[in-house]
Amino acid sequence: MTTTGASFKVLVVDDSNTIRRSAEIFLKQGGHEVLLADDGFDALAKVNDYHPQLIFCDILMPKLDGYQTVAIIKRNARFADTPVVMLSSKDGVFDKARGRM
């Protein structure tokens, strides 16, 4: 459990196993329930059953990138207000602006 007592269901979407596992360890230490997805399609397959309260999503992934993945998830009214943190090694102005959409 976190120090505030709040525990969240978190979905981590990243094609890097190292990033996924690191995030999982960190979040579980904070008392959160974590589900991992290794690409956008995997995330879409899991999101409806898991009902995450928070999503961490990599931008650069094969098959379906993070922008597309989040756009599809957000079209579902149940997830329209679910907070999403976009993860990227990119730091361009365009990427920052697009991530805020």
Does any domain span residue 56?
yes
pLDDT at 89: 72
pLDDT at 1: 44
Question: How many domains does the chain divide into?
Answer: 1
Does any domain span residue 1?
no
7: region left, alpha or beta (phi > 0 left; psi from -120 to 50 alpha):
beta
Query: Token digits for 63?
Result: 């098959």
Q: Measured between alpha carbons, how far is 98 from 21 in angstroms, rounded to an integer?
A: 26
Where b means 16+ CB within 10 Å and e means fewer, 30-56 reads eebebbbbbbbebbbebbeebebeebb
Does any domain span residue 60?
yes
User: Which is higher by pLDDT, 21 or 96?
Assistant: 21
Does any domain span residue 34?
yes
Residue 28's CATH number: 3.40.50.2300
Q: Measured between alpha carbons, how far is 34 from 45 in angstroms, rounded to an integer?
A: 15
Model pTM score: 0.84
% residues pLDDT > 70 (the chain)? 83
Residue 62, domain extent? 9-99
Does any domain span residue 62?
yes
